[in-house]
Amino acid sequence: MTTPALPPPPDLLDGATQRFRRADRFAYHYARGKLGGDVIFAELLRQGLLPATPRLLDLGCGQGSLFAWLLAAAELHAAGRWPADWPTPPAPVQMRGIELMPRDVWRAAQAFGGAHPQVRVEQGDMNHVDFGQCDVITILDALHYFDHERQREVLMRIRKALAPGGRFITRVGDAASGLPFRLSNWVDHAVTFTRGHRLPRLYCRPLAGWKALLTDVGFDVRSQSMSGRLPFANVLLVCDMRPRPADAPAGHAAPEVSEALA
């Protein structure tokens, strides 16, 4: 029998979502549904998957729900209202988001205003924007919106943008999982459409394909199911950088990234 996961601190959802009232009704209700209903946000904190003070880059960040969640967690912790049995939440020194949809960028601007100089959400396409240097990069449910060749290119650029010891965290669908995958794809189409996109073509892979690609690009990959109670095929991939040859201590050759990827 598995032990049920501890629920997130009760004030966290309110703290994270109130700021979206400054934008529009959609922003607030979307944040409540997303942060309250999607298990990934609690798991990032419960499992302590982020380092203490990272420079964080979230690609396809939407209205910045992840940033609001992390800010609220850090605020609760600073106020002494963080549960003792959860790891200390991270206090990112930089939270930069890249988002395609101008409306979401506007919502983020309303929600964060100038009150949090460490938060910046920019309108742009992750296929073209310079990633700079960071410690953690996330892509939550957005890699499958562009084709396989561009996925590989983005992942290679992520690998280059991460400082030594950096981590890439992503969630993907497992195209080999049958009905749960078809269901999550159907919901993805519907939600994407209501958010103002045209019905997109989605570029999916079986879990084994995602892992092989990420390993080839230069990551050590751990996976875990991340659908919560929903009958989906969502998988969290925690990808830690394998040292580049230049990072390895003398006499300890690091595994090579394949010629084709370098």
Residue numbers of the site for ligand SAM (CB under 6 A)? 34, 60-62, 65, 98-101, 104, 125-127, 140-142, 145-146
Q: How far is the CB of 151 from ligand SAM (least distance, A)?
A: 10
Shortest spacing between CB 33 and ligand SAM, in angstroms: 10
Q: How far is the CB of 220 from ligand SAM (least distance, A)?
A: 23
> Per-residue DSSP letters for 40-109?
HHHHHHHTT-S-SS-EEEEET-TTTHHHHHHHHHHHHHHTT-S-TTSPPPP--SEEEEEES-HHHHHHHH
Q: Which is nearer to ligand SAM, 79 or 191 (CB)?
A: 191
Distances (CA, A) of 237 to 123, 124, 174, 191: 25, 24, 11, 22
Nearer to ligand SAM, 90 or 257 (CB): 90
Measured from each CB, the residue nearest to ligand SAM is 60
Rounded to 5 degrees, φ, ψ at 165 are: 85, 5
What are the CA-CA distances from residue 47 to residues 31, 54, 144, 251 (Å)?
22, 16, 25, 34
- Chain position carrying tokens 């949809």: 101
What is the C-alpha separation between 49 and 224, in angstroms, rounded? 13
Minimal distance, residue 9 CB to ligand SAM, in Å = 20
Nearer to ligand SAM, 127 or 215 (CB): 127
Show the tokens assigned to 148.
Answer: 């396989």
* Shortest reach from residue 82's CB to ligand SAM, in Å: 23
Closest to ligand SAM by CB, 143 or 214: 143
Report the C-alpha gap between 97 and 64 in whole angstroms: 7
Residue placing its CB nearer to ligand SAM in the complex, 35 or 213: 35
Give the end-to-end CA distance of the chain in Å, rounded to a whole number: 45
CB of 52 to ligand SAM, least distance (A): 23
CB-wise, 100 or 204, nearer to ligand SAM?
100
Mark out the alpha helices in 171-241 (DSSP H runs): 179-194, 207-217
